[in-house]
C-alpha cells in the first residue's frame, strides 16, 4: 500500500465536527475513523456507519437462556427425580410451570445481558490488557479527531478541513 499517510483533524465542538463530517462526506472522501470523548448523536448516520446488530444478538441469547431454563427445570424436576415436594404436581412440566417462571425469567435476562456484553467486548476489541488506540489523549477529554487517509491529495483535504473549522491538522504516517 503506497498510501500510509493519514490526516488527523482535531475539532473542539461536536456540532462543528458533525458539519465537518458531512462536508467531508459530500466530497466523497473516506473517513477512516472518528474518535470522540462522548457519544455524538447522529455521528454514525453522518459517517454512514451500518447500524449495530447487538440488540438482535441479545434477543437470540435471551431465547437460548429461556430454552436452557425450560430444559433444566424439566430435566431435574420432572424427569430425573420426579419427587413430591410439598404436594407440587410433578407429572408434567406444565403442571409445575408457575414455580419455574422466576428461574426462566432470570436465566433469560442473564444470558441475554451477559452474552451481549461479551459480544460487544469482542466485537469492539475491548479487554483488560488491551492497549488504547486513540491517537491523541485529548480525544477522551474535549477534542474530536477525524482521521482521513491521504492519496496524494493532502493539500486539498487540508484546505477543506481548515474551512470546516478544524483547530489542528496533522499529517501522520500510519503504520
Q: Which 86-145 residues touch another protein, going by CB under 8 A?
A: 86, 88, 96, 99-100, 102-103, 105-107, 109-110, 112-114, 116-117, 120-121, 123-134, 137-142
For another protein, the closer of residues 28 and 174 by Cβ is 174
> Which residues, including other chains, have CB under 8 Å from residue 122's CB and lie 6 or more apart?
none
* Other Cβ atoms within 10 Å of 141 Cβ, number: 9
Interaction of residue 151 with another protein, rule CB under 8 A: no
Which position among 23, 54, 66, 70 is part of the footprint of another protein (CB under 8 A)? 54
Around 170, how many Cα atoms within 13 Å sit in the side-chain half-sphere? 9
For another protein, the closer of residues 81 and 94 by Cβ is 81
Which position among 1, 28, 152, 173 is part of the footprint of another protein (CB under 8 A)? 173
Distance CA(67)–CA(127), nearest Å, equals 29
Smallest distance, another protein to C-beta of residue 28, A:
18
Which position among 1, 26, 28, 38 is part of the footprint of another protein (CB under 8 A)? 38
Distance CA(149)–CA(173), nearest Å, equals 10
- Centroid of chain to Cα 16: 24
CA angle centred on 37, ends 158 and 124, rounded to 5°? 95
Which position among 25, 64, 67, 164 is part of the footprint of another protein (CB under 8 A)? 164
Amino acid at each position: 500500500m503506497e498510501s500510509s499517510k493519514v490526516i488527523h483533524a482535531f475539532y473542539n465542538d461536536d456540532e462543528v465536527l458533525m458539519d465537518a463530517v458531512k462536508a467531508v462526506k459530500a466530497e466523497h472522501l473516506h473517513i477512516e475513523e472518528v474518535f470522540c470523548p462522548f457519544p455524538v448523536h447522529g455521528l454514525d448516520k453522518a459517517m454512514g456507519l451500518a447500524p449495530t446488530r447487538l440488540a438482535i444478538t441479545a434477543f437470540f441469547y435471551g431465547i437460548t437462556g429461556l430454552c436452557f431454563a425450560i430444559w433444566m427445570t424439566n430435566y431435574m424436576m420432572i424427569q430425573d427425580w420426579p419427587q413430591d415436594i410439598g404436594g407440587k404436581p410433578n407429572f408434567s412440566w406444565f403442571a409445575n410451570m408457575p414455580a419455574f417462571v422466576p428461574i426462566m425469567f432470570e436465566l433469560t435476562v442473564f444470558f441475554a445481558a451477559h452474552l451481549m456484553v461479551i459480544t460487544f467486548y469482542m466485537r469492539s476489541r475491548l479487554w483488560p490488557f488491551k492497549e488504547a488506540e486513540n491517537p491523541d489523549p485529548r480525544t477522551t477529554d474535549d477534542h474530536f479527531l477525524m482521521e482521513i487517509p491521504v492519496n496524494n491529495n493532502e493539500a486539498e483535504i487540508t484546505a477543506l478541513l481548515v474551512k470546516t473549522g478544524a483547530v489542528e491538522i496533522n499529517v501522520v504516517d500510519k503504520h
